[in-house]
Structure 1
Amino acid sequence: MIEVNDIHKSFGDSKILKGISTTFEKGKTNLVIGQSGSGKTVFLKTLLGLFEPDQGSIIYDGTDYSDLTPDEKSDLRSKMGMVFQGSALFDSMTIAENVKFPLRMFTKQSKSEMNDRVDLVLKRVNLDDAHNKLPSEASGGMQKRVAIARAIVNQPRFLFCDEPNSGLDPRTATVIDNLIQEITHEYDITTIINTHDMNSVMEIGQKIIFLKNGIKEWEGSNKNIFKTDNEAVTDFVYSSDLFKRVQKMYLEEDM
């Protein structure tokens, strides 16, 4: 679980996060949504410990980040898995070597232990025959699955995903959404996903935080996002490609 209490963050005179408070629960897919410039990226980087908040606190499984020593902060970050927007795989490494990278960086496991762990997570993301391929030989969907395997190889307590469906077709995006949700439930991870994709919201949005201009405008689930009377949320939802496709479908049915 991650508890966020009155987080503020500024860069110079520009106030980016303006008093955000919320809770992200273990074993749930927690989504952060909002328009470009809403503060989603800064918020995610603050949760990752890449930015120090100017005010407020972030508590990870009962531990306040600001109370930790530099070594303890480094240890906590080693328990965080990250799926980057562009997958961020090393082009010169094989898929297996990419997945193994966090184990080499953060553990003292033997070569055989690392290989066994890599085999396990690649099998979990349905890539058990892709060890020796290079990223350039993999499709966009395969690369995202490799990125997920790398993010969970070190058995993290916290999983962060930045626009994991970026650049994917709708069918593949749904596969990635479902995979992230399944892994979250299986390993009881606290998962936080930055996204602007309403498909993801409707597929896996168990907890949703909507940001606007650095403020938490709304929170809820995919079961009640269409019921809110918050104008900022409804503007975001009804301008999405998903809503337009659903609206078009209903209009065609009425013709």
Structure 2
Amino acid sequence: MIEVVNLHKSFGDAHVLKGITTTFEKGKTNLIIGQSGSGKTVFMKCLLGLMIPDEGTISYDGRRFALLSGDERRDLRQDMGMVFQGSALFDSMTVEGNVMFPLEMFTKQSRSEMEDRVNFVLKRVNLVDAHKKFPSEISGGMQKRVAIARAIVMNPKYLFCDEPNSGLDPNTAILIDNLIQEITKEYDIITVINSHDMNSVMEIGEKIVFLKNGVKEWEGTNKDIFRTDNKAITDFVYSSELFKKVRQMYLKDGD
């Protein structure tokens, strides 16, 4: 479990995170949502250890980050996988090279061991014939799957995804959502996703943390959203007529 208690972060006079307390559980897809400027990107960077909060604590399975030594922090970061918004693949490397990069950097595995692991994770994300291709030679959806393969190649305990569906068509976005959720459950890891995609929220939002102006305004599941009377979250999620109709249908069926 990742446990966050009373997290604050400011930049000069701008108080970006204002006392956030929440937990992210193993085996669940945990989503952080909110409008631009709500603080979700800064929150994610604090969770990754890229920013140090001014106040409050973050603990990873009982390990409080602020109390860890430098070596312990490096070990913790090796337990983290990251899927970046733009995939962040190395253009000069093949698909195989991109996925193998963390193994070369952080392990002492033999070449054959690394190749076996790369083959395994590429097969897991349904990319069996793309090893020798370069990022420019594959589609955006395939690039995202390569990024996921690279994120899980070190067998992480924590998987962080920043807008994983950004730039993808709706059908491909659904495939990526399903893949992330499948991997989360299959490997029983803690997955935290920064997202503005309401389809993702409704499809895989097993735990949702909604931020507004740096405050945790609401949290719950995707099913709880249909029942809540919290105006801030309903206004955010049901800004489109489609979701308003879906909610009406859900409540009607519930009756």
Is the structural similarity TM-score above 0.5?
Answer: yes
Over the matched positions of the two proteins, sequence identity in percent amounts to 75
1:135 aligns with 2:129: no
Letter in 2 for 1:181: Q
Letter in 1 for 2:104: R
Distance in 2 separating the partners of 1:127 and 1:54:
42
Distance in 2 separating the partners of 1:6 and 1:19:
4
Distance in 2 separating the partners of 1:70 and 1:78:
13
Matching residue of 1:4: 4
Distance in 2 separating the partners of 1:57 and 1:246:
38
- Alignment map for 1:1-255 (pairs within 5 Å): 1-240=1-240, 243=243
1:161, 1:192 within 8 Å by CA — same for their partners in 2? Answer: yes
Deviations along 1:53-112, whole A, 9 cap, x unmatched? Answer: 100100101111111011111110111000000000000100000000111111111111
Deviations along 1:164-184, whole A, 9 cap, x unmatched? Answer: 000001110000000000000
Distance in 1 separating the partners of 2:21 and 2:224:
20
Tell me, what secondary structure is at the counterpart of 1:201? helix
Distance in 2 separating the partners of 1:149 and 1:88:
13
Distance in 2 separating the partners of 1:42 and 1:61:
21
Distance in 1 separating the partners of 2:201 and 2:3:
21
RMSD of equivalent CA atoms: 1.4
Distance in 2 separating the partners of 1:187 and 1:203:
20
| Alignment length (residue pairs) | 248
Letter in 1 for 2:5: N
Distance in 2 separating the partners of 1:76 and 1:113:
23
Return 5+ residue gaps in structure 2 as ranges: 250-255
Deviations along 1:109-155, whole A, 9 cap, x unmatched? Answer: 11111100000000000001110000001101000000000000000
Letter in 1 for 2:184: T
Distance in 2 separating the partners of 1:241 and 1:26:
34
Distance in 1 separating the partners of 2:19 and 2:110:
45
1:210, 1:219 within 8 Å by CA — same for their partners in 2? Answer: yes
Q: Structure 1 pair 39/242, CA: closer, same or farther in 2 (3 Å)?
A: farther
TM-score, with normalisation over the residues of structure 1? Answer: 0.95
- Give the Å deviation of 1:234: 1.0
Distance in 1 separating the partners of 2:58 and 2:21:
9
Q: Structure 1 pair 242/81, CA: closer, same or farther in 2 (3 Å)?
A: farther
Letter in 1 for 2:69: T
Distance in 2 separating the partners of 1:167 and 1:161:
14
